[in-house]
C-alpha cells in the first residue's frame, strides 16, 4: 500500500497546513468580481446553499437553470459535496430523488438512475465519457470526488446529447477549471472518518493572468477496512490518489485554447460482494480483487464563445483516455490467486459542438461525437489440483467498439412556453479478431444504427408553478464484455458472451412539475420507461448450456440475450423550504416499480422505496446544525424465476445523520458529523453478494473535515 508513505503524509500535511495560512492571505485574495466570466468559477464565501438557483449544463449542453429545464435533474454543488463528505459519486448521490447505488465494495459504488444500473448510465468527467467494460467495481469510482466542484445528473433517456448507453440518464462530474484571475488562489480540504479510520485530503491551485491560466490539483485517500454495526467488514480498505491539471490560453475576448490532464490510481481494492463458492474444496471460495487500477486522460480543446457581436459559438475537443486494470480471482482457502487478468481500455475521441442564437428566444445547438475503444485482455488461469500451472485463457483479442453520432437540438421560448426538442443519429460497430482463446473466429462483428429523440415542453404559470411533459427515446448498444467475454459473474453464474446482441431501446414518458423562489425549491415527476431488446443473462439447460458454457459450467450457465421488454414506472419528488431566515427543511421520496414483461414477474434488483427528511439551520454566528433521516422500505418485490431464487427480500432500515459546521470566516469551514447515529447494521437491496452474504454498510462513524478557499 502506497498510503502513509513519507510522500503521501507530506501531501496530507500540506493540505492541512494551507488553510491556516488562509487567515493571513484572505485580505490579499482578489475579490470575486475580478473573476472573468468566460471561465467557470467557484467563489469562496459563506455558505449560501439554497439562496441561488441550481444551474445544469448536462441536461441541455449549456448552462440552464434547472428549474427551467423540462426534464428530471439533480445537482450537488460544492457545499453539498463537502457536507456529505462522500468518498465516491455513488455514496454522494444515494438517497436523492430517483437515485440509488449498487455496491460490491467500499470503492465500487455504482449510481442507479430510475432503476437502471451502470450499463444504462453514461458517466462523464467534464463532459468526457469514462469508457470501459466493468466486470466489478464502479466506473464512477475511477475519478476522485475530492477534487470535484459539482455533480450533475440527468434522469431518463439522454441519448440525444450522449449517444449509446444513456438509457437511464447521464452523470457529469465537473472538476475545477483554470481561471483568468490575477494571482494565485487555493482550495484545500482534509478529512477523517472513524468507521474506516480513513484520512483524505485535496489541494487545488489556480494561477492566472489576463491571457494565461493554470490549474493543478491533487487528492489522496487512505481507507482501512471499515466497521459495520455488527463488526469489521474485511477487505473494504483501499488507497487512492489523483492528479488533475489544466492550462488555458486566451486568444481574445471570445476564443480560448485549453490542455487538460487527469490521472487516478487505486491500489489494493477488494470486492467482497463477489465472493462465491468454488467447486473444489482446496479452493473453498473465490473473491475478486484489483491490485491496481489506473485511469489517465488527456484533452486538447478550442472554444469560441457566443457574444453580442457573434451569435455562433463552438467547442472542439480531442481526447484520449486509458483505463488499465488488473483483476484477479483469489482462492480464499488456497491462499493465492487462481486466475489473473490484465487489460487496458484505450479510447480516442473527438467531440465538436456548436450553438447558434438564431433569435433571442431561439437557440440551436448541434454536435458530432466520434470515439473508439480498444482492449485485448491478457487472462491466465491456474490449473487444478495444485493451481500452479498457468494456462492462457483470454476471452477475446483486439476488441473494438466504434461509435459515431450527430445531433441537432432546438431550444425555443414562446412567451411562457419553453420547448426543447432534439434528434440524433448514431452508428455503433463491435469487432474482435477472435473469442475464447481463438476457438471462435466467425460471427463476431456487428454494426447497428439508431435514431434517438426527445421533446420537452414546460409552461411557466408562475415561478413556483412550472408543469412540464417530456418524451424521450434512447438506445444502448451492447458493451465489450456483453459481446465478447464469457466467464463467471458476481451472481454465481457463468455468462456466455454474444457478439450479435441487438441494441436496447428505451422510450420514456415523463410528467412533472418544478418551481423555485427565494424560499422554496421543489420538483416532482411520474414516469414510465419501456425498454425493448433488454439485454440480460438467460438461464440455459441441457445440451444448450453445455454448448454455450462448457460441461463444467453447464449447471450455472447463462447466455447474454435480448429479452423481449421490461417496463419501469416511478414517482419521485424533492423539495427545500426556508421556514425562516437561515433555516431550511428538505424532503425527498422515491418509488420505483419494474416489471419483466416476458416472465411476468418483478424486474430483477429494483431499488426499494425511500423517504428522507432533513433540517439545516444557523444557530449562532458562524455555526449551523443539521440532521437528516432516511427511511428505506422493505423490498419484497423480487425476481424468483429469472434469478433462480438468488434475489432475496431485504429488510427495511432507518438511518439518522447529524452534523455541525463552523465557518470562522468566509471561505473556511470545519465540519463534524455522525453518520448512522444508531449504528444500524444493514445492506441496501442492490448490494452485491450471495443471499445472506451481501456487503454490510458502514456503521456509526464520526466524520471530521476542514475546507478552505483563499
Mean pLDDT of 568-588: 97
What was the pLDDT predicted at 116? 93
- pLDDT: which is higher, 545 or 114: 114
What distance in Å separates the CA atoms of residue 108 and residue 411, rounded to the nearest whole number? 37
What residues contact 9, with CB distance under 8 A and at least 6 apart? none
Helix (H, G, I), strand (E, B) or coil at 223: strand
pLDDT per residue over 405-454, tens digit each? Answer: 999 999 999 999 999 999 999 999 999 999 988 888 999 999 999 999 99
Residue 205 within any structural domain of the chain = yes
pLDDT per residue over 78-137, tens digit each? Answer: 999 999 989 889 999 999 999 999 888 888 788 999 999 888 999 999 999 987 766 666
Name the residue among 422, 462, 572 with its Cα closest to residue 512: 572
Asked whether the predicted pLDDT for residue 383 surpasses 80, the reply is yes
Give the number of other Cβ atoms within 10 Å of residue 83's Cβ: 24
Least confident of 118-122, 218-222, 276-280: 276-280
Q: What is the CATH number of the domain that holds 533?
A: 2.40.170.20
How many separate domains does the chain show? 1
Residue 203 within any structural domain of the chain = yes
What was the pLDDT predicted at 20? 42
- Domain extent, residue 506, equals 6-709
Asked whether the predicted pLDDT for residue 31 surpasses 50, the reply is no
Confidence at 492, pLDDT banded by 50, 70, 90: low
CB-neighbour burial class of residue 356 (10 A; exposed 0-12, middle 13-18, buried 19+): middle
Written in H, E and C, the secondary structure of 562-594 is: EEEEEEEEEEEEEEEEEEECCEEEEEEEEEEEE
Least confident of 25-39, 444-458, 463-477, 518-532: 25-39
Written in H, E and C, the secondary structure of 103-140 is: ECCCCCEEEEECCECHHHEEEEECCEECCCCCCCCCHH
What distance in Å separates the CA atoms of residue 45 and residue 96, rounded to the nearest whole number? 26
Residues 32-67, buried b or exposed e (16+ Cβ, 10 A)?
A: eeebeebbbbbebeebeebeeebbbbbbbbbebebb
How high is the mean pLDDT of the chain? 88
pLDDT per residue over 43-95, tens digit each? Answer: 333 444 445 578 888 889 888 999 999 999 999 999 999 999 898 899 999 99
Structure letter (DSSP) for residue 608? P
Give the number of other Cβ atoms within 10 Å of residue 411's Cβ: 22
- pLDDT: which is higher, 491 or 505: 505
What was the pLDDT predicted at 517? 95
What was the pLDDT predicted at 137? 66
Confidence at 393, pLDDT banded by 50, 70, 90: confident
Structure letter (DSSP) for residue 643? T
The cell for 346 is: 484505450
Least confident of 41-50, 209-218, 473-482, 695-704: 41-50
What residues contact 424, with CB distance under 8 A and at least 6 apart? 159, 160, 161, 163, 405, 406, 407, 408, 451, 452, 453
Written in H, E and C, the secondary structure of 358-389 is: EECCEEEEEEEEEEEEEECCEEEEEECCCCCE
Mean pLDDT of 369-383: 92
Rama region for 436: left / alpha / beta (φ>0; ψ in -120 to 50; rest): left
What was the pLDDT predicted at 52? 59
Residue 682 within any structural domain of the chain = yes
What was the pLDDT predicted at 44? 35
CB contact at 8 A, 41 and 34 = no
Asked whether the predicted pLDDT for residue 9 surpasses 60, the reply is no
Give the number of other Cβ atoms within 10 Å of residue 564's Cβ: 12
Residue 568 within any structural domain of the chain = yes
Place of cell 431488446: 533
CB contact at 8 A, 558 and 516 = no
Residue 656 within any structural domain of the chain = yes
What was the pLDDT predicted at 28? 34
Asked whether the predicted pLDDT for residue 195 surpasses 90, the reply is yes
**β-strand partners of 403:** 371, 428
What was the pLDDT predicted at 76? 93
What distance in Å separates the CA atoms of residue 571 and residue 512, rounded to the nearest whole number? 10
Nearest 5°: phi and psi at 66? -60, -35
Confidence at 537, pLDDT banded by 50, 70, 90: confident
Rama region for 676: left / alpha / beta (φ>0; ψ in -120 to 50; rest): left
Place of cell 424521450: 472
Sign of the four-CA dihedral 46, 48, 52, 53: positive
Residue 365 within any structural domain of the chain = yes
pLDDT per residue over 618-668, tens digit each? Answer: 999 999 999 999 999 999 999 988 887 888 899 999 999 999 999 999 989
Residue 663 within any structural domain of the chain = yes
- pLDDT: which is higher, 140 or 433: 433
The cell for 647 is: 434475489
Residue 1 within any structural domain of the chain = no
What distance in Å separates the CA atoms of residue 411 and residue 305, rounded to the nearest whole number? 18
Asked whether the predicted pLDDT for residue 27 surpasses 60, the reply is no
What distance in Å separates the CA atoms of residue 658 and residue 676, rounded to the nearest whole number? 9
What distance in Å separates the CA atoms of residue 188 and residue 709, rounded to the nearest whole number? 7
Residues 486-516, buried b or exposed e (16+ Cβ, 10 A)?
A: bbbbbbebbbbbbbebbbbbbebebebbbbb
Asked whether the predicted pLDDT for residue 491 surpasses 70, the reply is no
Mean pLDDT of 559-575: 93
- The alpha helices in 493-554, defined as continuous H runs, are 542-549
Asked whether the predicted pLDDT for residue 23 surpasses 50, the reply is no
- pLDDT: which is higher, 44 or 210: 210
CB contact at 8 A, 294 and 324 = yes
DSSP assignment of 610-635 equals: EEEEEEEEEEETTEEEEEEEEEE--B
Asked whether the predicted pLDDT for residue 226 surpasses 50, the reply is yes
Amino acid at each position: 500500500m502506497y498510503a502513509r508513505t513519507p510522500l503521501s503524509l507530506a501531501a496530507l500535511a500540506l493540505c492541512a497546513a494551507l488553510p491556516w495560512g488562509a487567515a493571513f492571505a484572505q485580505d490579499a485574495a482578489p475579490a470575486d468580481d475580478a473573476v472573468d466570466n468566460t471561465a467557470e468559477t467557484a467563489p469562496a464565501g459563506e455558505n449560501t446553499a439554497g439562496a441561488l438557483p441550481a444551474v445544469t449544463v448536462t441536461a441541455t449542453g449549456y448552462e440552464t437553470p434547472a428549474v427551467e429545464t423540462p426534464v428530471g435533474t439533480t445537482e450537488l454543488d460544492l457545499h453539498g459535496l463537502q457536507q456529505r463528505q462522500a468518498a465516491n459519486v455513488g455514496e454522494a448521490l444515494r438517497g436523492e430523488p430517483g437515485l440509488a447505488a449498487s455496491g460490491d465494495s467500499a470503492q465500487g459504488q455504482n449510481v442507479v438512475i430510475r432503476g437502471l444500473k451502470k450499463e444504462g448510465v453514461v458517466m462523464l468527467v467534464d463532459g468526457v465519457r469514462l469508457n470501459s467494460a466493468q466486470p466489478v467495481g464502479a466506473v464512477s469510482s475511477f475519478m476522485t470526488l475530492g477534487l470535484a466542484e459539482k455533480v450533475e445528473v440527468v434522469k431518463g433517456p439522454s441519448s440525444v446529447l450522449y449517444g449509446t448507453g444513456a438509457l437511464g440518464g447521464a452523470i457529469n462530474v465537473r472538476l475545477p477549471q483554470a481561471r483568468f484571475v490575477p494571482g494565485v488562489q487555493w482550495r484545500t480540504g482534509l478529512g477523517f472518518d472513524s468507521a474506516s479510520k480513513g484520512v483524505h485530503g485535496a489541494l487545488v491551485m489556480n494561477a492566472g493572468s489576463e491571457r494565461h491560466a493554470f490549474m493543478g490539483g491533487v487528492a489522496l485517500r487512505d481507507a482501512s477496512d471499515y466497521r459495520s454495526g455488527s463488526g469489521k467488514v474485511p477487505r473494504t480498505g483501499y488507497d487512492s490518489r489523483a492528479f488533475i491539471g489544466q492550462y488555458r490560453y486566451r486568444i481574445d475576448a471570445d476564443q480560448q485554447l485549453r490542455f487538460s490532464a487527469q490521472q487516478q490510481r487505486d491500489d489494493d481494492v477488494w470486492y467482497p460482494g463477489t465472493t462465491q463458492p468454488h467447486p473444489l474444496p482446496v479452493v473453498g471460495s473465490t473473491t475478486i480483487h484489483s491490485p491496481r487500477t489506473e485511469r489517465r486522460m488527456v484533452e486538447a480543446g478550442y472554444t469560441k464563445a457566443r457574444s453580442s457581436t457573434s451569435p455562433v459559438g463552438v467547442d472542439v475537443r480531442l481526447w484520449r483516455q486509458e483505463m488499465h486494470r488488473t483483476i484477479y480471482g483469489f482462492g480464499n482457502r488456497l491462499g493465492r490467486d487462481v486466475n489473473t487478468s490484465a487489460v487496458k481500455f484505450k479510447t480516442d475521441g473527438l467531440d465538436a459542438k456548436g450553438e447558434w442564437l438564431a433569435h433571442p428566444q431561439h437557440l440551436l445547438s448541434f454536435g458530432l461525437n466520434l470515439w473508439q475503444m480498444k482492449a485485448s485482455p491478457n487472462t491466465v488461469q491456474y490449473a487444478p489440483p495444485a493451481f500452479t500451472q498457468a494456462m492462457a485463457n483470454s476471452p477475446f483479442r483486439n476488441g473494438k467498439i466504434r461509435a459515431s453520432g450527430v445531433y441537432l437540438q432546438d431550444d425555443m421560448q414562446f412567451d411562457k412556453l419553453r420547448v426543447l426538442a432534439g434528434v440524433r443519429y448514431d452508428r455503433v460497430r463491435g469487432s474482435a479478431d477472435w473469442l475464447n482463446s481463438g476457438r471462435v473466429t466467425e460471427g463476431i462483428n456487428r454494426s447497428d444504427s439508431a435514431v434517438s429523440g426527445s421533446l420537452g415542453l414546460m409552461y411557466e404559470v408562475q415561478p413556483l408553478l412550472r408543469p412540464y411533459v417530456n418524451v424521450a427515446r434512447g438506445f444502448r448498444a451492447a458493451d465489450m464484455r456483453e459481446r465478447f467475454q464469457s466467464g463467471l459473474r458476481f451472481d454465481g453464474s457463468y455468462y456466455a458472451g454474444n457478439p450479435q446482441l441487438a441494441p436496447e431501446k428505451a422510450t420514456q414518458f415523463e410528467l412533472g412539475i418544478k418551481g423555485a423562489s427565494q424560499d422554496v425549491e421543489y420538483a416532482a415527476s411520474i414516469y414510465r420507461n419501456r425498454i425493448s431488446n433488454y439485454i440480460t443473462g438467460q438461464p440455459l439447460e441441457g445440451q444448450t448450456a453445455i454448448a454455450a458454457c462448457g460441461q463444467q459450467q453447464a449447471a450455472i450457465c447463462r447466455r447474454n440475450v435480448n429479452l423481449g421488454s421490461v417496463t419501469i414506472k416511478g414517482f419521485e419528488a424533492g423539495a427545500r423550504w426556508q421556514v425562516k431566515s437561515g433555516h431550511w427543511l428538505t424532503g425527498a421520496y422515491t418509488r420505483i416499480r419494474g416489471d419483466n414483461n416476458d416472465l411476468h414477474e418483478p424486474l430483477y434488483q429494483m431499488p426499494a422505496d425511500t423517504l428522507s427528511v432533513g433540517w439545516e439551520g444557523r444557530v449562532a454566528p458562524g455555526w449551523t446544525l443539521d440532521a437528516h433521516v432516511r427511511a428505506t422500505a422493505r423490498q419484497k418485490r423480487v425476481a424468483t424465476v429469472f434469478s433462480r431464487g438468488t434475489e432475496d427480500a431485504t429488510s427495511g432500515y432507518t438511518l439518522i445523520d447529524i452534523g455541525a459546521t463552523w465557518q470562522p470566516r468566509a471561505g473556511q469551514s470545519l465540519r463534524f458529523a455522525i453518520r448512522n447515529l444508531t449504528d444500524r447494521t444493514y445492506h441496501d437491496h442492490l448490494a452485491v453478494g450471495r443471499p445472506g452474504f451481501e456487503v454490510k454498510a458502514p456503521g456509526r462513524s464520526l466524520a471530521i473535515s476542514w475546507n478552505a478557499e483563499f
